[in-house]
Amino acid sequence: MKVIVSDTTSLIALEGLQSIKLLCAVFESILIPQAVLKELSAGSPDIIKTINAVGCIEIIRLEPSEQLASLQLVLDPGEAEAITLALERQLPILIDERKGRNIALQKQLIVTGFAGLLMLAVKTKKLSSDRAQSMLDQAITNGFRISNPLYQQVRAAIASYKS
């Protein structure tokens, strides 16, 4: 995957780990809609500087559409815009919230999340297994939510990439 659309949660998790630049190691370009930027800056005003500094994140302004309007009825603005952007550009999406993921999957998008990003980073040797596990654990400490069964699957997958 060279280009991906991102929702808010993974960016918040990476910002909490001071690791947004990991996205640039894994992807050539990350597109985020303005609603995601607004959600990010509400929680961390300095994040805009970080986003501008990494150089691989592009902020996209969406035009109103029926697709966007229908998604805004059931999702928060960031998720609705991220899914709409992914659909319009036919790109994969980085999204973690269950409801948003389910809708993205129903719309036939390729979906990954924060844990999937860590696994991909390890698989492509952009991150060591130990560092990925440490990042996952710290993200959970910082408030990132993941079910225990999924956590165990991710741990096993990360460990399996050790060389």
Check which CATH number belongs to the domain holding 49 and give it. 3.40.50.1010
List, for the chain, all residue ranges whose pLDDT scores fall below the cut of 70: 1, 163
* Predicted TM-score of the model (pTM): 0.93
110 and 125 housed in the same domain: no
33 and 78 housed in the same domain: yes
66 and 124 housed in the same domain: no
| Location of structure tokens 């050790």 | 162
32 and 94 housed in the same domain: yes
Looking at residue 1, what is its pLDDT? 61
| Largest pairwise CA distance in the chain | 48
SS3 14: helix
Question: Would you state the structure tokens that stand for residue 137, as one six-digit string?
Answer: 């654990």
Looking at residue 20, what is its pLDDT? 93
18 and 61 housed in the same domain: yes
156 and 125 housed in the same domain: yes
Looking at residue 46, what is its pLDDT? 82
User: Helices (H), strands (E): how many in the chain?
Assistant: 10, 5
41 and 62 housed in the same domain: yes
How do beta strands 93-94 and 3-6 pair?
A: parallel
Q: How far apart are the C-alpha atoms of 43 and 46, rounded to whole Å?
A: 9
Looking at residue 163, what is its pLDDT? 55
Question: Would you state the structure tokens that stand for residue 116, as one six-digit string?
Answer: 């999937």
Looking at residue 162, what is its pLDDT? 74
106 and 41 housed in the same domain: yes
Other Cβ atoms closer than 10 A to 159:
13
132 and 105 housed in the same domain: no
Question: Would you state the structure tokens that stand for residue 81, as one six-digit string?
Answer: 């815009």
Last residue of a domain, one of 114, 131, 146: 114
104 and 137 housed in the same domain: no
Q: How many domains does the chain have?
A: 2
SS3 58: strand
Q: How far apart are the C-alpha atoms of 156 and 71, rounded to whole Å?
A: 35
Residue 36 is classified by DSSP as H
134 and 96 housed in the same domain: no
72 and 142 housed in the same domain: no
Domain membership of residue 30 as a residue range: 3-114
